[in-house]
Each structure stands twice: as structure tokens, then as C-alpha cells.
Structure 1
Amino acid sequence: MKVLLTIPHVFAPLKGSLYSSQNELKRGLKTKALHSATVGNIDRHSKRHWIHASLGLGKSIVTRELSTNLGVDIRVEVFTPSKATLASELETNISIHLYEPNCTDYQQIPLIASRHLLEQAPHYDLLGYMEDDILIEDPEFFSKILYFEKCSDGSHVFIPHRCENIPGKGDVILSGDPDGGRPDLFWDTGELINIPWPLGERKFYRATNPHSGCYFLTKTQASKALAYWEAHNWTPDFELSGPLEQAGSGLLLPIFKVMKPIPEHYRFLMVRHQDRLWERHPFESSGGVSSDLISF
């Protein structure tokens, strides 16, 4: 399986900003996160792996390189301006490629990366757009995406929940839905579908909040999205709240039904967000006071 991941990346500190990409205090965290999103994902999902092997009775143990056909051929392309980047600190890796977006408005970089991804549809089996702090922990993640397409009628795109871990408490799903839903949004239909799985059916719902910081498409789906946006001259009829959201699920909503696992089944399809956004919001009290987890 050939997989392409495109990642927009900007680090440009701005005094007083709440965004991690503009926070000098998060330089170390963002550097580590970018490493996880690039090198980390390659190491987890490529065909190369290692085993400790003895050279024989009474002989030394070596670390031996092996290859598994359960891995994928993965290429990571990072779209990042040379004057506002942490990518220069990445180690050299033949699977990582840096691209200068050649734009003065850094808010256009997510769309540049997402558009480029769709334009590569003929050359890959699976294509993924990700923000620069996403770690895909599930070793069968890409195989699941291909499987889901076979289980649906072609109108659905399946995206993971983006989660962080609260130490001592457990995982938190970052992009949750508002209580009561959003009936003003055309995609908030409440649709629910079941995906067959050997350990029991997994349920997916058409999420009110379609953002997860990433999306993943098969070759067929990416080609369909590319044809739509070329026909519309890359001009949307509506826009989500920010450039990251618009370049992500914003490119999918006019074409597909964006499905997420129901919260109970979040572990079945999830990615790890390399940050501590959970610290921004208070825990819900017994009185029912909660913070808004929606960003669109």
C-alpha cells in the first residue's frame, strides 16, 4: 500500500496568542510533536522493523533489520515556510520531503497542503492530510480506512477522533459535539451506520463537529474530491471557522458524509494529539456546567 501524508507546518511566535504555533513557550512541545507526526508515523507504519536475534548458543545478540508486508510505503510531505518553521530540526529521512509554500499569507498553507494532496490521488492508494501534531498509533489504521470504504456505499468518509490523555484520568476527545446538536448545519442529520467487525459491530455517526485535525481518503475518494473542487475552481460555498478546519473537513463536507466513531467506540479509530489543549477547559461540575469543545 502506498500512502501519502501532507502536513502544513508554521511556527511563528506572536505575543499573547493562544495558538500553540504562535506560542514561544511551546517551542519544545511543538518540535517534539512535529517529530512524532513525521518520523514517528513513518517508524510506526513503514515496512522496516527490527528484532533482537541471537547469533547462536553462547554468542552475542544483535539488532537485526526485518521487513513486514503489514507495513506501508509511506511518504510525508511538509509544507512549511523557511522563515517560520521547526522542520529544520528534523533528522534527515528519505521519506520526509519539505516544500516551500511560496506565500506571504501563512493562513493559506493548510489549503495548499490539502489541495496538493488531492492532486496526487492517481499515485497513491491512500492519502491523508494532517495537522503537524498528529500521531497515528494504530498499526492497522490505514487498512481500516480501506476496509471502511468497502463497507459503505461510497458517500461516507471515515475520520478518527483526535484525543489527548489527561494524566491519571484517561483520554479526552477534543472535538466533541454541542449538546442539542446544530440543526442549522446541513450535515447534522444524526445518521448512524454500523461497520461489521470480528469483535462486534462498530458504530459511526455523522458528526455535528466534523473537525479532527486530519482526514484520510482512498484513491477513489480523493479523485472524487479533486474533480469536485476543480469544477468549482476551489471556491467554497461556505467556510468553517479557521484555515485548518477549512483545509481539513471543510473540503469534504460538500461531497461526503463525514463519519466519526460514536464516543463509546472512539478507540476503534483515533489519533493522538501531541499537545495539552485539555488544560484550556474546566471539568464539568455536578451542576452540569461545561465548556464548549467546538471550534467551528
Structure 2
Amino acid sequence: MLGLSDKFLSNRKLESLVENQTSYTLNNAALHVFETHRQAERVLLKFDQPVLASMVEGKKIMHLRDYESFDFLPGESLVLPSNETMCIDFPEAMRKKPTRCLALAISEDKINKVLQLMNESMPKHDRSEWGLMDYNFHFVNDMGIFQILQRLLFLFTENHPSKDFFVDNMLRELIIRILQTNERKIYSNSTLQLSSNSRLATVIRYIREHLHEPLNVEDLSSKACLSPSHFYRVFKTELGISPIEFINNERIKLAVGLLQDKKRSIKNVYLECGFESRSYFNRVFKARQHLSPSDYQAKAQSEPL
């Protein structure tokens, strides 16, 4: 799984139990490792450059300006603009089970150079130009992004005279992959933009809190006080995907994090995510992650670098 090596953990200084920060700075980027060892609420964090935050262990609840709060789990990343304030809760952090997260701050100059390269070498099918990535883009890491993040974690902490060069090459690939992922929209982030008192926001919260239970359009529509057909149309219009697609996306998002725990069996994972059969779980997972759950688990559980 994406993780911190024993060498890192033994060498870093633990000076705070809430968002203890270990940082490594290079020419075009800085890598920050944050660790929280006790429960906390409303912790504020901000960077002066665009940042990719990626969860390693534990759970955060993110509160972003003008967006619905959401759980931030292992296997997920979030792209934020410079000077965007994050307000973070740590509902489960403890000394023996800390919450850990990477924050990779990337210079806008580096991002712009990659965008120029993409527009010159790999134009979009619709001939529109690549632009700065959608910010507040919350997504599940695919295996390519997962492996780049693991490699960057190694490179930043390595004592090598050419590591700036190595990191620059990895940053270029990471930015390209994120932009292409953003273009595909692994799962809709429109839910972050729903007002907290909208009918759909209430249903979204219910889905995320009951993923392990049976969920169907009829029951969800009644919670929104709409007929099933009207609910389906409103949901798809607002979020761009059907209710079942959204439910499956959220279940796969949860599964990605659970599969990084080597103690969990595939059966345990798909049942906890609300899938009734392994065959259906395999089919939905592979369609979204391009790997079977067992192959994903084997790759994600490789030893940290």
C-alpha cells in the first residue's frame, strides 16, 4: 500500500500530536507528510501553491469553502488551488492508529510548462486546450497515480545528487495523469457543490453512511420526497450519472481503501462495501480501476519504498 517506510518513521521528529509536519523541498515542489495521533476538529491548513493531497492512513472529514463536507480516505487524492483553506476533522485518530496524509505542493510554473507540452504534443480530441486542472477535484487514485506517489515519496526522502531531476520527470507524468483523470471524471465531484440543505445532499449523505446496506432507487426517492422516476431524472441532471452509478462509484471508492489493508479478504471487502456477490463486485471494480480486486490488492500491498 502507499505508505511510509520504517526508515522515515524512525528518522522524523514527532513534535505535535495534531498535523505533525515533516517537509522536503526541491526546486519545483515540496512534499509534506502530516501525521495526527489524537482526535481533533476544525484544524486549518493552507498552502501558497497548488497542492495534491493524498491519504495514506486513517480518515479525515474535509470541509472546503462552499462545498459539502466529505470523508477523505486512503486511496483517494484531492487537488486544491493555492491559498485554499482546508478545515479538517480527525474523528478516529489515536496514538496507535494515526491519520497520515501526503501534501505535494507544485509550483504553478511547473504546471504551466506541462500544460504547454500537452497542448503541443497531445491535443484533446475536441481540439480544446488543456488548462489548469479543476480545483477541489476529489478522486480515487488509479494504479498509475498510486505508483507515482509511492515513487515520489521515495525520491524526496532519498539522498541523491540528481533527485531534483528525477522528481521533475515524475511530476510531469503525475500532472499529465491527473489532468487526464480529471477529464474522465472517475466519479462525479458535482456532489461537492450541492448546498447542504438540498434534497439530493441529504440523499448523498444517506448513501455514503449506508454503503454497506442494500440501496435502491425506490427507497432513496422516498427520502427525497420524489417519485422514483422524478428522482432518477433530477439525480442524473444534477450529478451527470444515475443513482446506481453513483452508489457503485462510492462503493468502489471505499473498496480501494479497504483493499490496502492486507488483513482484509476480498469477501470481507465486498460485503462491507454493500455488494451481494463477488462476481458483480469484480465486474464493477474492474470497469472503474482496470484491474481485478485481487490484482489491485496485490499491487497496493507491495512493501513501501
Question: More helix by proportion, 1 or 2?
Answer: 2
TM-score, length of structure 1 as denominator length: 0.27
Question: More strand by proportion, 1 or 2?
Answer: 1
Q: Which has the higher contact order (CA 8 A, sep 6+)?
A: 1
TM-score, length of structure 2 as denominator length: 0.27
